[in-house]
Amino acid sequence: MPRILDQRILLLVILFLTGLQSTKVLSEWKKYGDQECETAMNRVQDVTDYLGPDCRYLNFKAGEEIMVYSKLSQKNENLWTGSKGKDFAYFLKDAVKVEELFIAEEVEVFT
């Protein structure tokens, strides 16, 4: 019985550590189009197919349009957040090209 208990505890520790890995903060700073973080910043078009590493990332095919609402800054500046239809998630900025700019100046906010 103690051996089974040890295995269960080990399994719980592994599951806990795996959960911590997936909730890691990508960046503490973001750039937005306004102080209220409500304005779309850009309209972009995908230049390549993109499949994100997990459910926090947007998947898309080349030619689709995405509305950009924020950009990570300082740490992980290569990630932007946006929406495609009803999906909202992170994506690599290098996978898209800017089609239309909606703001004149970006606002950096600590999150």
C-alpha 26/C-alpha 76 separation (Å) is: 7
Nearest to 103, CA basis, from 58, 41, 52, 60: 41
- Rounded Cα gap, residues 32 and 105, in angstroms: 9
CATH no., domain 27-110? 2.30.30.40
Q: What is the pLDDT of residues 50-68, one digit of tens each?
A: 999 989 999 999 999 999 9
Record the pTM: 0.76
Hey, where are the domains in the chain? 27-110
- The pLDDT of residue 22: 53
CB 12 within 8 A of CB 87: no
Burial annotation 61-77 (CB, 10 A radius, 16+ → b, else e): eeebbbbbbbbbbeeee
Question: Given this model, what pLDDT does residue 11 score?
Answer: 61
Determine the pLDDT at residue 75.
81
- Give the model's pLDDT for residue 25: 75
**CA quadruple 98, 101, 103, 105: dihedral sign:** positive
111 residues of the chain, pLDDT tens digit each? 566 656 676 666 666 655 545 556 788 899 999 988 889 999 999 999 999 998 999 999 999 999 999 999 988 899 999 999 999 999 999 999 999 999 989 999 998
* Joined tokens for residue 13: 């520790």
